[in-house]
Amino acid sequence: MKTRVIIVRHGQSTYNLKKLIQGQIDLSVLTDLGIQQAQQVGATLKGIPFDHVYCSPLKRANQTANEIVSVLKTKLPDTPDPETVDTIKEIDMPLWEGLSFKEAKERDPEMFQAWYDDPANFSMPLDDGSTFYPVRSLYDRAAQFWQETLPKHPDQTILIVAHSAINRGLIATALGLGPERHENLHQANCSISILNFSGALGEPVQLESMNLTAHMGETLPTMRSRYHGPRLMLVRHGETEWNRQGRFQGQIDIPLNENGKRQGEQAAEFLKDVHIDAAVTSSLSRPKETAELILRHHSGVDLAEMDDLKEIGHGEWEGMYESEIESGYPGMLQQWQASPETVDMPGEGGENLEQVWERAIAAWNQIVAQYSHTEKPVTVLVAAHDAINKAILCHVAGLGPKAFWQFKQGNGAVSVIDYPNGVESAPVLTASNITIHLSGSVFDKTAAGAL
C-alpha cells in the first residue's frame, strides 16, 4: 500500500491581507490575489489524477479547493469535487480570532509569546474556568484525520486543501513530531507539500517536498518579517554517473556527469535572482562543482570548503551495486533500508549515522554561528550530499538518525532553513527538496541512485 498526499494551504485571504488572526472564525474569504494563487496551483497540478479531494469547510480553504478543482477538471473531468472535513479546520484560537497580531500581543503578551516559544504548553483560559490548549488540540485533530483517512486510500493520490497551522500539524504528525515542534515548519499561502505514506499513520512515511512556492513566481518562500537571523539554502549536488547507475559513492570523489552539470545550471538559473551573501561546500568535487555553477550568477561570493560536510563513508560498499552488497553482505542492505541507525558500514572508512550526525551537525552549527547576529539577515548557500542533507534536515525538524529516510533529497534540490534569531534560536524548515526547476513538475524526478 502507498498513499501519495499533496497538501495545499489556502490562497491569500482578506484577514491575511489585514494581518488579522483567523483561526476558525469564518468571515475571511480569498482576495483577488488569493483566487489567482489557487488557479496557479490548479495549473501546476493539472494532469495529476486525484482519487479524492479533502478540504476544510472554512470559506477561504473551501474556495481555494474549488478553484483548484475547476482548473484540474479542464484536463481530467472526472476529478472529484472537494469533500469538507471538520478535522482539518484551522487552529482554534477563541480569545484572539478577529484581532490583529499586534492587538493580541499587546493584550496578552505572555500568552502570545508562549504561542511561539512553547506551543505544546500554550494555553487559553476559557469563560467556563477550563483551560484550552490550541496547538495540542490541533495535533489531536491532525492525527485523527490521518487515522480515519489513510485506510480509505491505499495506492491512491489525494489532495488536501486547508490552512497554515493544520497543514503544519498534518506534516508534523505524519513525521512523528509533536506540538512542541509546531513552529519549526512553515506553510505559505497556496504552497504545495507532498507526503508519501507506506501505510497507516506510524508506518514509514517520506516527506518528498514541502512548502513549494515557485509555481506562484516566488522562487523561495519569503522570510517572515519577525526573523532576524540567517537563511541557509541547502543544496544537494547534481547527478553523477554512479547516481545514475545506482552505485554507492560515499567519499569516493565522483564528479558530475553531463546531466548533473545541467542540473547545476538549472539550479543556478532558479536561484540567480536570490541574493547570496556567502557559500560553503563539501570538499568533494560533485557539490563543489554544483556550488560553482550556482555562484556564476553571484560574483564576489567566495566558496569555502568543509571536510565535515563530506558524504557518509560507506567503507567496503563504495563502488558497489545493491546486488553486490546483497550477495556479499547478506541482510545488511535490508537492515540499512529498514533501520539505518543500526548499521555500521563495513571496512576501513565506514561510518554509522551517529558519526555522520555528529560531524554534519557540528559543521552546520558552525556555519549558522558564523552568520548569526549580522546587521541584517544574510543568505548562505550550503552544497553537500544526500546523507549529509538528510541528517541536517532531520536535525532541523527535531528528528534523529532513525528518521533518516523520511526526507527525500533529489540531485540539484534546494531546501531552505531559517533561524529567527540566529544560532541560539530553534531553526525553521521553510522549504524542503525543491526540484521543480529541474523538470517543471512538483514531483522529484531525479535519479533514485545510491548515496
Supply the CATH number for residue 124's domain.
Answer: 3.40.50.1240
One domain for residues 244 and 100: no
Both 238 and 172 in one domain: the answer is: no
Within-domain flag for 226: no
> Helical H runs in 120-249?
134-149, 164-175, 241-245
Asked whether residue 211 falls in the same domain as residue 282, the answer is no
What's the number of domains the chain is made of? 2
Indicate whether 236 belongs to any domain. Answer: yes
Structural domain ending residue among the three candidates 162, 193, 216: 216
Cell readout for 70 is 475547476
Which one-letter DSSP state was computed for residue 30?
B
Indicate whether 111 and 176 sit together in one domain: yes
The ranges of the chain with pLDDT < 70 are 1
Distance CA 373, CA 369 (A): 8
Q: Which set of grid coordinates corresponds to residue 50?
A: 486525484
311 is catalytic: yes
pLDDT value of residue 448? 73
Does residue 223 belong to any structural domain of this protein? no
Has residue 449 been placed in a domain? Answer: no
Asked whether residue 268 falls in the same domain as residue 212, the answer is no
Q: What confidence score (pLDDT) does residue 447 get? A: 80
352 and 384, same domain (yes or no): yes
The verdict on 163 and 14 lying in the same domain is yes
Tell which of 186, 216, 246 closes a domain.
216
Closest among 56, 63, 77 to 142, alpha carbons compared: 56
Residue 417 lies in a domain: yes
Catalytic position from the list 67, 311, 318, 351:
311
- Of all helices (H) and strands (E), which one includes residue 64? helix 59-72
Which residues span the domain enclosing 173? 3-216
Q: Average pLDDT over the chain, rounded to whole?
A: 97
Task: Tell me, yes or no, whether 239 lies in a domain.
Answer: yes
Residues 235 and 204 placed together within one structural domain of the fold: no
Domain limit, last residue, from 216, 239, 271: 216
Among candidate residues 10, 186, 237, 298, the one labeled active-site is 237
Told to judge if 316 belongs to the known catalytic residues of this protein, a careful annotator would answer no
Q: Judge whether 46 and 226 are in contact, CB under 8 Å.
A: no
Q: Indicate if 235 and 199 belong to the same structural domain.
A: no
Q: What angle do CA 390, 394, 400 make, to 5 degrees?
A: 110
Is 268 contained in some domain?
yes
Residues 173 and 281 in one domain: no
What's the pLDDT score for residue 451?
A: 80
What's the predicted TM-score (pTM) here?
A: 0.97
Is 149 in the same domain as 237?
A: no
Sign of CA dihedral 298, 299, 300, 302: positive
Q: Is residue 318 part of a domain?
A: yes
Q: Are 396 and 420 members of one domain?
A: yes
